[in-house]
Amino acid sequence: MRDFITPSKTITNTKRSRLLFLLLLGIVQALIMVASNVQAADLSTSAPVGSRVTTTINVQSTVEVANARKLGINIGTHDRFGASQLLKNVIINPGFEAAEYGQIFHTSAGATGTRIQQENWRISFNPATSLPADFWNGASYEITYGPAKGRTGTISDFTHEDDKYTYYLDSNGTAPEQYDTVLVTTTKDDIFYPGIPKTTPSGQPILAHLDSAESHSGQQSIRLSPPDVVWRASHEYYMDTLYQTDPSAGQLIKFEGNWCLDYWAKAQQAGDAINMYMWRVNGNGNFLFNTPDQLLADTWQHYSFQFNIDPNDNRNEHGGRGPNTFIPPIDPDREIEGSSPAVTLGFRPKLVLDGADNVLTQDIWIDDVELYPCDDTNPTVFSDTYVNLLKELQPGTIRDWGSAQLGASLDNQLAIPFERKTTWHNPRLDPTPKDWQFSLPEFLELAQEVGANPWYVIPPTFSDQEMTNLAEYLTAPATSAHPYAQLRQALGQSAPWTDVFDTIHLEYGNEMWGSNDGSDPFLGATAKGGTRLGQLADLRFEAFDLGVASGVTNLNRIIGGQINHVFTQREIEDNSNVHDSIALSPYFGYNIDFATNDEELYYPSYARVFQDIASGNVFDQIQAHINAVGNGTELAIYE
């Protein structure tokens, strides 16, 4: 998936009408696409395609497909910048956990049995964000394609040579060839958590550090050193900053009404105190909330506060842009007039000095922070606003797709929020991990709550054993013979998830046919073409099937296809027979704002479907390639 739309927390009547209008268009299109006897004559136009000015659709009373499936919706990634506010707790990585890294790369020519280099990426492309030497030292590797397929071991040394990432393997063996695929995974405990700066302005000391020696849950907490002045926070967590790149966004996180703040804390010195506050930068000067100084014990204790936030304190009433540069947001209630609507949650240890101005305050540890609307009542981790909107839209399927899972392990995908790590997969980006996603159990609970079937995008960084464990988690009874099914039970779901849903859709990776070079938006998580993808997916789905409980038949194993290169489907089919469907994304409608008249709006939404499925056109060609191999593969459509 290249783009996705996430239902926002608040939709105006205009935006809601547009969304529902598009859904109605899509429903009609979906019904047309699955109709068994639709003819091109059902569509008439007043001119050839190149000069079409009118699209005519004849609606008849004949039922072509009874009980047609409802359209699905992509579920994106929760973020703190304002675009995707999905969860009740607005704090990402609330347990301040470590970073998890997983990457697929392709090998350069000239590899040996102990030394391989990474193709399609040069350190000189982006020196500022290149991985440092030694970064992958101790990481696990698996060669998944080519003559060395099946080799596993450890990276003994990671260096920069010939402007390339260079990996030395811990043992000798068959050398891979050019463009063979390698999977590497590791965990880093010493990586800065998103939001904790590596440097501070004006030479101020860094006062917030991750600490793996102290934690309430998980493996880490945040350690706060006392500030140098009483008003300064040791750490500030910024939210709702999308406005900085798109001023029309205005406020996207609405802080008003009853909000709760929960956290665990301990002090190096019993009796030291901390103050937590939140305010909107350049706002009217009022705090959204400001806790009293909380005295802390020298053991971990839980603290909880509740606040009623006045909507007037949530608006910016002065600032630096002025009326001549003001860009109003789409929704009037999101309007701001200041230079920034960003919200800051401040962690401020109380500074205590003696008579000689020596600092008496010592370090404080914070862990498991929650900031959420107190009045939300639905049983999932997702906000009432989001859940209620999904219930209103009634999707038949929801697809768990966010780049946050592409470098993840299964254990991290199953972890509770306070123990879940951030993830990273893309060597083009700053190696500070920024992705943190809801878990697989939380996604399945959402699907159950809104009455939809789940479509899970499996991280391509899963090993064979993780695929087997995933199948056990989804399908097996919770007995001692099935530890991952017992984990499912411990997380609150006793019966197998396959007992809950009509179908569970499982897609291996996302658009994994991608080139895995600098032009690929999913660099680090793609296989380069249908042949490699087919073999890798076949390998992983075979491992998955080893864990599927006897008698389970409602799993749909999916490989993502490539609609703009029809032969990719033939390559996939020739190299895999352990899948049920190939999924295609036609991208028939990007943005309704492009249309200047009804014809430009209706053609991609209605008329194009007839063109795509007509004899000799793209879907017909793809179906021919699939039929030629004879695996019995179905076609699925997403986006």
Question: DSSP characters for 580-608?
Answer: SEEEE-----S-GGG-SSHHHHHIIIIIH
What's the start-to-end Cα distance of the chain, in Å?
Answer: 8
Task: Outline where 483-556 has alpha helix (H).
Answer: 483-490, 530-545
Amino acid code (one letter) for 516 = N
Please state which of the four CATH numbers 2.40.10, 2.30.29, 2.60.40, 2.40.30 is assigned to the domain occupying 99-188.
2.40.30
Distance, CA of 502 to CA of 107 (rounded, Å): 41
Q: What is the pLDDT of residue 106?
A: 96
Q: Which among 476, 381, 426, 495 is positioned nearest to 87, based on CA atoms? A: 381
Q: Would you say residue 314 has pLDDT above 70?
A: no
Choice among 184-198, 215-229, 482-496, 504-518 with the minimum mean pLDDT: 184-198
pLDDT, tens digit (0-9, with 9 covering 90-100), for 240-291:
877 777 777 777 888 889 999 999 999 999 999 999 999 877 655 678 889 9
Contacts of 415 (CB under 8 A, 6+ apart): 421, 439
Q: Which residue would you say has higher pLDDT here, 518 or 137?
A: 137
530-545 vs 464-475: helix axis angle to the nearest 10? 50
In this structure, CATH architecture of domain 462-639: Alpha-Beta Barrel (3.20)
CA atoms within a 13 Å half-sphere pointing along the CA-CB vector of 423:
28
Distance, CA of 602 to CA of 611 (rounded, Å): 13
Question: DSSP characters for 34-53?
Answer: H-SS--GGGEEESS-GGG--
What would the mean pLDDT of 383-398 be, rounded to a whole number? 96
Output Rg (C-alpha) for the chain, integer angstroms.
Answer: 27
- Phi-psi region for residue 82, left (φ > 0), alpha (ψ -120 to 50) or beta? left
What would the mean pLDDT of 280-303 be, rounded to a whole number? 86
Choice among 196-200, 533-537, 577-581 with the minimum mean pLDDT: 196-200
Domain boundaries, the chain: 10-37, 99-188, 226-362, 462-639
Distance, CA of 418 to CA of 404 (rounded, Å): 16
SS3 assignment, position 278: strand
Distance, CA of 75 to CA of 323 (rounded, Å): 37
Distance, CA of 241 to CA of 235 (rounded, Å): 17
Residue at token pair 């909330």? 289
pLDDT, tens digit (0-9, with 9 covering 90-100), for 429-440:
777 777 888 999
pLDDT, tens digit (0-9, with 9 covering 90-100), for 80-104:
887 788 999 999 899 999 889 999 9
